[in-house]
A = this chain, B = another copy of it.
């Protein structure tokens, strides 16, 4: 292929690639992907510098997820030092690991020096100890100490998510001095919304929001406009608890302190938003019987991770089956029972899962506590009774006509009422009890609720039928 061809193609590519990279439906535009793919194949570094380097880190992340796996490393190699490592904080864990493992440690070390410490920790924490050490060893001293300290905090703690770069000033400085300092100092964090007031031992005295500084005259002292922080976050605190504080008090950032109340970092709302998303996602997934899986997980990993939940369900399914087994004789006499019994069990399961969903969510958001528990339990039991009555009658009438047997209709009505009441009670009691015992209600509620609605459904229906229809 001639160089001229190449140049022509590169020119066309540039004309086509200057718009928004997203299509209407939110995925990366197919033509942009094609252009990037072609540029990678042609090793068209000029194009990549112009159209890929300019992308926001999250856009670059989406691009990495959208291109073919074998193009990813090629793209990163072509970008070289221009590759913004922050993009890796925006991709699926499996893809991040795949990329980081293929990148030479020296390149990671060079790039990680450019990152905010929270992003650096985010990437480093997934690596094995050996690679971590090799990378850390190549960093400047202060950088290394900071990252090591953050990595020493437990996983999922505020200390892991915090940024160790912040602006801190003594209380006796004036606004003028503070502004002059910020104008002169070169080593400020990339962006910040408040500054901290500390004593010589780094003990946190207070916080000043930037808008407060800008409204205040030069001669005023910092200590007279600082406010005490009511919510300094201990570095060991779980990130979920820290997120709850941010949410409740509408914070933009918060000081993270060590055991001695010394300022060690700052937690910012953008990281907290990610935590909130993750936590909501976790509950959603767990209630559906799936763990921390990601779309990029492999077939085998996914299969294996879903087995335990299915296995527990299988045990309860056999328990329910053995309840049916008690009534084999009855079913042999009246086969209609076998036809109708899944309706009783299934409707109980659905009603139970409604109550359970509300309860699990209310517990997660701490809206359900001792002050309103009894009211909510009474309400749910009432809902179970009312809807049990309603659907009991509907199902009874339909079944009675279907099998031309009024007695069968009465039996299924009664069984429905019993089971939907049992479902309501199980749906609220099981998550609450699990929560009390310290277990996560989202993980195991569904299994128990289904077990109860199945067993109560089969037992009440087949039991009543045996007693009433086979008199």
Instruction: Please report A residues at the B interface, Cβ cutoff 8 Å.
Output: 25-28, 30, 33, 56, 58-59, 65-66, 92, 179, 182-183, 188, 191-193, 209-211, 213-217, 244, 246-250, 252, 269-270, 272-273, 276-277, 280-281, 283-285, 287-290, 293, 295, 298-300, 302-303, 306-307, 309-310, 313-314, 317-318, 320-322, 324-325, 328, 331-332, 335-343, 345-347, 350-351, 353-354, 356-358, 361-362, 365-372, 376, 379, 382-383, 386-387, 390-391, 394-395, 398, 450, 454, 458
Contacts and interface: CB of A to CB of B under 8 A. Distances in A.
A51 B6 CA distance: 75
Given A247-B273, A307-B387, A390-B307, A288 B357 contact: yes
Interface of chain A, main secondary structure: helix
Contact of A283 (B215, B248, B270, B284): B284
Contact of A368 (B289, B295, B320, B357): B295
29 contacts: A25-B370, A26-B244, A26-B366, A58-B248, A58-B249, A66-B369, A182-B211, A188-B215, A247-B273, A276-B277, A284-B284, A284-B357, A284-B361, A285-B358, A287-B288, A287-B357, A289-B353, A306-B354, A307-B390, A313-B347, A317-B347, A320-B346, A321-B340, A322-B339, A324-B342, A328-B335, A332-B332, A342-B345, A342-B454
Contact of A317 (B277, B343, B382, B386): B343
The number of times this chain is found in the oligomer is: 2
B217 A183 contact: yes
A340 B211 CA distance: 69
B66 A371 contact: yes
A197 to B, nearest CB: 15
Contacts of A192: 211
Contacts of A394: 314
B379 A299 contact: yes
B183 A216 contact: yes
Contacts of A247: 273, 277
A325 B339 contact: yes
Contacts of A346: 313, 317, 320, 450, 454
B182 A350 contact: no
B342 A335 contact: no
B342 A321 contact: yes
Given A252-B252, A290-B354, A295-B367, A214 B318 contact: no
Contacts of A395: 314
A343 B371 contact: no
Contact of A335 (B272, B288, B331, B382): B331
A23 to B, nearest CB: 9
A349 B295 CA distance: 21
A182 B314 CA distance: 67
Contacts of A283: 284
Contact of A214 (B213, B332, B336, B350): B213
Given A66-B371, A191-B211, A303-B383, A288 B342 contact: no
A370 B30 contact: yes
Contacts of A362: 295
Given A313-B350, A321-B339, A328-B335, 17 more contacts: A26-B366, A28-B371, A58-B250, A59-B248, A247-B273, A250-B270, A280-B281, A284-B361, A288-B356, A295-B368, A300-B386, A303-B383, A306-B351, A306-B383, A322-B339, A328-B339, A342-B454
Given A280-B281, A283-B284, A214 B183 contact: yes
B309 A350 contact: yes
Contacts of A214: 179, 182-183, 210, 213-214
A342 B325 contact: no
Contacts of A191: 209, 211
